[in-house]
């Protein structure tokens, strides 16, 4: 026991090294430029979406209430990882402190889990709008929307505090080289020199609750939505109904597709490189495309953008 305690103290003092792109040192400058551009687009695009849903009264509806919260969440989500990655590329230094790594992992899994719940809430909103339009205003009240957002935070915060505590009380007595771009649960557990069986059980339980269950609810909602759309007699009516869902469906496909590929793959060393690139997709690339998806495929957002940009 004294020996393990010493190892834990050593871990706290030395922290970790984020290997990331270090195998391709010649690409550091290019990577910095690319990810700086991605980060700026994430900040600009999501800030613009959040702004127009506040200032334009025509967008004061439940769908855009969720979209505003989702866009703000996307800004926070990318800010957990990208600034540290940019510093690492610029300084060619992937070191991160033990507490810094714990904080990064906590906010990453916290915000990622809440995003999944928000996407499920947005799918429920579309389900009510299309399948029960006469009661939409009554069901999707302002109070319900606020409770769904606040409830997501209240539910997820303590759960992810517990997971973070369990991961970072493990002894990391092997190599401190973290073969990833940021501190995530799976690569951290691979560095632990203790039995991580229960950590893995907890991890996959939380994946079930915060990823698989929301995704299943989204799929179920869209099955019912598609059935309702197919019953609409006019082609124009079907097209209009589907257009109100296409943006959300595109975001769901991007986010859950890449996230599921990472967390549901078998644990193997061969998949480590693939996993970290998939992780870049849902932490960096997907938040960049989300504002484009909503602005390009949503007439209401495009009209609101024109009003905002052209107003003197």
Q: What is the mean pLDDT of each run of 10 residues along the chain (312 residues)?
A: 41 74 74 93 93 90 93 95 91 89 96 94 94 93 96 96 95 83 90 91 92 93 93 85 82 79 55 71 85 76 80 56
| Phi then psi dihedrals of residue 17, to 5 deg | -120, 120
Task: Look at residue 8 in the predicted model and tell me its pLDDT.
Answer: 44
In the CATH hierarchy, which fold is given to the domain comprising 2-310? Rhopdopsin 7-helix transmembrane proteins (1.20.1070)
Are the C-beta atoms of residues 167 and 108 closer than 8 Å to each other? no
Task: Look at residue 161 in the predicted model and tell me its pLDDT.
Answer: 97
Tell me: the pLDDT tens digits for 228-268? 999 888 888 888 888 878 888 888 888 887 776 665 554 44
Nearby residues of 274 by Cβ (< 8 Å), 6 or more positions away: 265
Tell me: the pLDDT tens digits for 197-229? 999 999 989 989 998 899 999 999 999 999 999
Task: Look at residue 243 in the predicted model and tell me its pLDDT.
Answer: 80
Task: Look at residue 10 in the predicted model and tell me its pLDDT.
Answer: 42
Tell me the CA distances in angstroms from 291 to 14, 45, 248, 286, 295, one per residue in order.
Answer: 39, 5, 11, 10, 6
Question: What span, in angstroms and rounded, lies between the C-alpha atoms of 60 and 54?
Answer: 7
Q: Residue 281 carries which DSSP code? A: I
Task: Look at residue 157 in the predicted model and tell me its pLDDT.
Answer: 97
Question: What span, in angstroms and rounded, lies between the C-alpha atoms of 124 and 178?
Answer: 38
The model carries a pTM of: 0.89
Sequence ranges of the domains in the chain: 2-310
Task: Look at residue 263 in the predicted model and tell me its pLDDT.
Answer: 59
Helix (H), strand (E) counts: the chain: 13, 3
Task: Look at residue 283 in the predicted model and tell me its pLDDT.
Answer: 85
């Amino acid at each position: 026991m004294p020996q393990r305690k010493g190892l834990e103290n050593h871990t706290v003092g030395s922290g970790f090294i984020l290997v990331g792109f270090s195998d391709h040192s010649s690409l550091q400058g290019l990577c910095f430029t690319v990810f700086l551009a991605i980060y700026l687009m994430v900040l600009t695009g999501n800030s613009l979406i959040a702004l127009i849903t506040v200032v334009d009264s025509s967008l004061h509806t439940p769908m855009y209430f969720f979209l505003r919260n989702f866009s703000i969440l996307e800004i926070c989500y990318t800010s957990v990882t990208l600034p540290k990655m940019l510093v690492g590329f610029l300084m060619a230094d992937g070191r991160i402190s033990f507490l810094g790594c714990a904080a990064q992992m906590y906010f990453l899994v916290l915000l990622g889990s809440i995003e999944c719940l928000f996407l499920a809430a947005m799918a429920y909103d579309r389900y009510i709008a299309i399948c029960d339009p006469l009661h939409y205003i009554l069901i999707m009240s302002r109070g319900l929307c606020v409770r769904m957002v606040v409830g997501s935070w209240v539910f997820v915060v303590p759960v992810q505090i517990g997971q973070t505590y369990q991961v970072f009380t493990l002894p990391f007595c092997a190599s401190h080289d973290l073969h990833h771009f940021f501190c995530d649960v799976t690569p951290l557990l691979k560095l632990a020199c203790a039995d991580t069986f229960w950590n893995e059980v907890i991890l996959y339980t939380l994946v079930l609750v915060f990823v698989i269950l929301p995704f299943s609810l989204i799929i179920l909602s869209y099955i019912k939505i598609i059935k309702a759309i197919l019953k609409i007699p006019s082609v124009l009516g079907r097209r209009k109904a589907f257009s109100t869902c296409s943006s959300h469906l595109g975001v769901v496909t991007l986010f859950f597709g890449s996230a599921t590929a990472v967390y549901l793959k078998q644990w193997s060393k061969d998949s480590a490189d693939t996993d970290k690139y998939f992780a870049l997709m849902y932490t960096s690339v997907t938040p960049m495309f989300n504002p484009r998806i909503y602005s390009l495929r949503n007439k209401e957002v495009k009209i609101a953008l024109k009003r905002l940009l052209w107003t003197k």
